[in-house]
Chain A
Amino acid sequence: MSRSSQPKFRSPADERPLAKILLILLSLAFLGFFLFLPLVSVFVEAFRKGIGEYYEALIEPDAAAAIHLTLMVAAIAVPLNLAFGLAASWAIAKFEFKGKAFLITLIDLPFSISPVISGLVYVLLFGSGSLLGPLLKSWGIEILFAVPGIVLATVFVTFPFVARELIPLMEDQGTGDEEAALSLGASGWQTFWYVTLPNIKWGLLYGVLLCNARAMGEFGAVSVVSGRIRGITTTMPLHVEILYNEYNMVAAFAVASLLAALALVTLALKTLLELRFGAGNAGGRH
């Protein structure tokens, strides 16, 4: 009775296999040209003249100084924004108050500002034509074209990362746990330390990860305030630019490859956090 040649069933909520393959190939080609090839080319260019020159470029004193400065700037900027992120998300997620939505918009503001402008605002604030700059200079404090300016610009551009990760997470968790802990006699700090923090630790880590990646990689804002004093106020991205403009391609890509590796590690950890703990965008309702 049954037929031998049945047409294969295709779900009405599905495309033809051929269309699927074409769309997949199109996506792969697009991502290949715009994401994969650029990434690969960084490493290829870096090793073009062999591992010896690659290594030379990294231990050269100016490069070492740039690596050192980049780590230091991130080590200051990330904890500052972490502290802010925790405070802001506590205030926003655990309380109902007037003007909350507006405050959240303000926190997101740096994301919609050109990095160049983020640097510019500090130049205007501390530059020679301002009120503050000459005053601070007379006390011996240098902000612009010095490390403090670089830190400030970095803090500005990485400002929202931790907060915007924690606010939705803490809002989802509500206030029930905290109220229970307080009713059991815990102090405010104990409640935060033993109840809130364990609940948000993966989201926190996720935010710190993204914040750190941006802090180490920021270019536009930092380039405006740095003054590019080689070996003193050049972070790794700025050092890359200097080397590139000197047509020292191998060295430029060698330093760039370190930053690319940082990006890959960040992506790997981020993906791991999303898969394991549902942190970040993947941590939806499902």
Chain B
Amino acid sequence: MTATAAVARARWRLKRPSIIPGFGLTLGFSLAYLSLIILIPIAGLFWRTAALGPGGFMAILMDYRTLRALYVSFGTAFVAALVNVVFGVIVAWVLTRYNFPGRRLIDAMVDLPFALPTAVAGIALTALYAPQGWVGSLFMPFRIAFTPLGIVIALIFIGLPFVVRTVQPVMEELDREMEEAAATLGANRFQTISKVILPGLTPAILTGFALAFARGVGEYGSVIFIAGNIPYVSEIAPLLIVIKLEEFNYAGATAIATIMLLISFAMLFVINLIQAWSRRRYGNA
């Protein structure tokens, strides 16, 4: 009787016993800090949204300007992530497989968008792609900056390292023997790449796409300079939040933020699903 009770008690416990000290202190501090900085403020956002009521929430969301802003944000982020998938995979391939002068430097440069403040990226891209800029002038009268295409340019910049850095380590782990095996079975190089290598990279590519897309949807600093910010055309959702705040329209800002946050969480969930699926099917990918 007492023995089974002891077993039952032992079965549920917060942590496995350990001789290492400091669990209570470090976990306690971590949770307190996490709650104060992240969780409580986010909870506050949801609480304010709840106060709007479903009707109020939907009214803001269904406003044409809101819908357009969300459409611009998601649409441009999607296109940019697609471009990044294509070029990111090529860049990652070139960096892992080929040896050429300056490879190391280029490899380091790929992280530039992680390190360069977004506002700096924003004004630099604008200067470059504006009608009188180095690149922009080449394409005149076709305009890049101050159109949705400009947003895509900024989001390509922001998202590139997400794709490259997700795909690159998986490429490095690729088994060359797999490619040789395909060749002994009669596959030419194109077939080997399209039927053996790329399918093996699919989970990493999908993850990189999702990361670049998620980052692009929320991006603000690099976009607002190049976008032109014309309502209904090139106004992104984060900018609309800022505009509503400046008009002291907290309800509007809150509702748009909530819907964006929910979509971000959904994407996070999808990324986790992709990774769990690929682990289950292909072993640790």
Contact = CB atoms under 8 A, between A and B. Distances in A.
Direct contact of A and B (CB under 8 A): yes
Interface of B: 14-16, 18-23, 25-27, 29-31, 33-34, 37-42, 44-45, 48, 87, 90-91, 93-95, 98, 100, 104, 106-121, 123-125, 127-128, 133-135, 153, 156-157, 160, 165, 169, 172, 176, 179-180, 182-184, 189, 192, 214, 217-221, 225, 238-239, 241-242, 245, 250, 253-254, 257, 260-261, 264-265, 267-268, 272
A208 interface: no
Interface in A227-242: 236-238, 240-241
A15 B115 contact: no
Contacts of B87: 26-27, 30
Give the interface SS of chain B, mostly helix, strand, loop or mixed. Answer: helix
A42 B41 contact: no
- Top 8 A-B pairs, shortest CB-CB distance: A217-B117, A114-B218, A12-B183, A219-B221, A97-B15, A121-B41, A220-B220, A188-B21
Contacts of A122: 41
Nearest to B86: A30
Nearest to B268: A112
A122 B37 CA distance: 9
A93 to B, nearest CB: 10
A252 to B, nearest CB: 6
A123 B100 contact: no
With most chain A CB atoms within 10 A of its CB, the pick from B91, B104, B111, B156 is B111
Contacts of A252: 123
A178 B20 CA distance: 7
A282 to B, nearest CB: 9
A284 B264 contact: no
A13 B179 contact: yes
Contacts, number: 292
B94 A114 contact: no
A277 B122 CA distance: 33
B217 A88 contact: no
Contacts of A217: 115-120
Contact of A94 (B20, B135, B153, B257): B20
Most chain B beta-carbon neighbours within 10 Å: one of A13, A30, A156, A238: A13
Contacts of A90: 22, 26
Contacts of B16: 95-97
Contacts of B110: 31, 35
Contacts of B219: 114
A258 to B, nearest CB: 9
Contact of B127 (A45, A96, A218, A236): A45
16 contacts: A13-B180, A42-B123, A88-B26, A112-B268, A116-B218, A116-B257, A120-B257, A123-B245, A124-B250, A129-B250, A179-B20, A188-B21, A237-B117, A253-B123, A270-B108, A286-B172
A30 to B, nearest CB: 5
Contact of B20 (A20, A28, A42, A95): A95
A259 interface: yes
B162 to A, nearest CB: 10
Nearest to B16: A96
Interface centre among A95, A179, A249 (most CB of B within 10 A): A95
A220 B221 contact: yes
B125 A179 contact: no
Most buried by A among B117, B128, B239: B117
